Structure 1
Amino acid sequence: MDVYFYSGPDNVNFPVGGRSANVKLSFLNQLETKSTIIEESENVQLKQGDNVVCSLCMNLERFHDLVQDGFFVNDTCIIVAEVCVNDLGLLDHNHPRLFVDFMGLCKIQKEYVQLLEKSCAKHPSLVKSHLKRKRSQRFKECSFSALGKLLHFLETKKLRDMMSYDVRQELQDLWDGVEMRFDYDLSWLEPHVKSALTYFEKATKVKKLKGDVADLQEKSKSLKAKAIAMNADLEITKKELAMAEEGFVERDLDDKIGCGLIP
């Protein structure tokens, strides 16, 4: 069974032909996210053509077993594929950047290292997970680079920047990339990302509701003033009624006007 990765017009320089890649496939459990299955394969040979083809890491027998375990919902199975092409080199000559060693794990762009070191110091599981799973050098580079880019974004962007749809989309893409590569607890990071993504939506809603509250308070004051005036009118009208009722005897309208005049 093969998985096809399309290389369209925007990827005409995709380096296939004689190259290999490390592939990570995440089979998402749609009923229980913690049960997601991750399969990794290193040095998968890529082939030249309209599509980049690599062998699926899971055999068909096991793949079919997933049907009963929450991996298929509405006849749909979700597979997230990550491909890291080997031998690309770490330097882009058009945009030269300096890469340095990161904690003996991999080479990382220098501007991300300090942010990553601080995060790993506060959250040791970031490193322990990679050591425990014995992940490949390339996967480590991809994973920590993705996290470094996200942390750098959060450190360098201002809240006003999030007014732009493109900036919000960039943050969402960075977050999606980190979520795919780090299959353990990111609860320490998620609130910061979600807060930035939803701030202006919530701020707009809060502003509208504040305006509604102010309008209703003004209307309430106006109604209270009218109620006070009406109560005053009510008291005057009650007094006038009491005076009018003095010596007044209510009669049936069918009574003769002279009723009681003649015994």
Structure 2
Amino acid sequence: MEKENNKDKMFEKFTWTIKDFSKLDSHKLYSEKFSIDDHLWRILIFPKGLKNANYLSIYLEGVENLVEGWNKFINFKLALIDQINHKMTKTGETEHQFNAKSNDWGFARFIPLDELHNPNNGFIVNDTCIIEVEILVSKLKHENEVDKTDNQIKDILTKHTDKPLPKKTFTTVDEVVDLKGLGKIEQDFYPLLEEVCSRHPSLLNSQKKRTLEYVEWAFTALGRVLHFLKTKMVKDMDEDTCNHLQILWEELETFKFDLTWLEPHVQSALSMKTYMERSVQVKKLKENVSSLEMETKMLKEKIIETKVNLEITRRELTKISEGFVEYNLDDGLAYGG
């Protein structure tokens, strides 16, 4: 992410001060609406966590009219301010393509609740909590032109044009890939897009009557899903990661590609969450079985040892009991006649 005070890009910040934090009884809480980069936003928190998880959850939410054409890709960071030691402020940076179907993004497990409420930390002082969001705003002329009006974006996303796209060739330029006539795509997506487009020419053909901006977003969305599947491991597929993939997939579906070849791979990746959960259970049960088997083995050996000792003791008892007359120990000792 670009840092503050860059001549082309800068962070714009909104600060939300929440008083009487301990008295909050709602499951979720919204900040007031605020405008950054000509868009309306608000912060959403779950003070008691999601689904009984012991974490504070924080999200940024777009609050446009949420019509089909609303679309905004942004980089942003959320911060929970440490009011005692600012250097200990908790921050999280991320990026997301906000649209009508996916209008919020953030962190389900931003900070453990016990750490949040720990009086030794400075996250809650005088029963007041402070949360900030900083959104990266581009000042580049091209980006300003693209974002001038929502109507332009609606047309890009929902309408066809009569102007066909020029013939496309893939060439690498610095940190982006220029799909000539289609716009710039991240370099990491280049080999993946090149491979799937050679295997599935319909991907290119399906976009011939779309605007240049639409096609750029479409192939960026496809590149994100492909890059996700290429770089993630089975062990990475926890709940948050699966939710992220689901959002990327739903965004990609809006661009009307023929994705019958890709959907099985996505669904398989999404099923990894269930697999990972069962894998943890299986591992734990295997460890329990191994422990019980070891305990059983030790008990069997102990039983064998005890039986041997019992037999030895019986033999010793038989031997020493020969010719032995037992007396009542409470009888008196007789003497005289």
TM-score range with shorter-chain normalisation? 0.3 to 0.5
**TM-score in terms of structure 1 length:** 0.42
More helix by share: 1
User: Which has the larger Rg?
Assistant: 1
More strand by share: 2
